[in-house]
Amino acid sequence: MSALPRTVARCDTYLDVLARLVEQEGEAGVAYLPLYHRLLRERAEAEAEETALDALRSRRRPAAAR
């Protein structure tokens, strides 16, 4: 089984799910903080990758179209 690609949208979805879990758990929701921080890092990395890919793709357009 291959891993799902990391995307900003997928990270945002997981952050939304995590927020609901924290709300349900009340004080015990603090246990989810490491996962929250991991998801924020993953989201930032995914955003940087998507930005880089967009920049590279834009370089493939003919110079007249830029």
Assess contact for 10 and 4: CB atoms under 8 A.
yes
CA geometry: angle 42, 30, 26, nearest 5 deg: 120
Side-chain half-sphere exposure of 17, counting CA atoms within 13 A: 8
Q: Is a pLDDT exceeding 70 seen at residue 25?
A: yes
Q: Where are the domains of the chain?
A: 8-60
- pTM beyond 0.75, yes or no: yes
Assess contact for 13 and 37: CB atoms under 8 A.
no
Residue 4 has a pLDDT of 76
Give start and end residues of each alpha helix (H) in 1-66.
8-25, 33-59
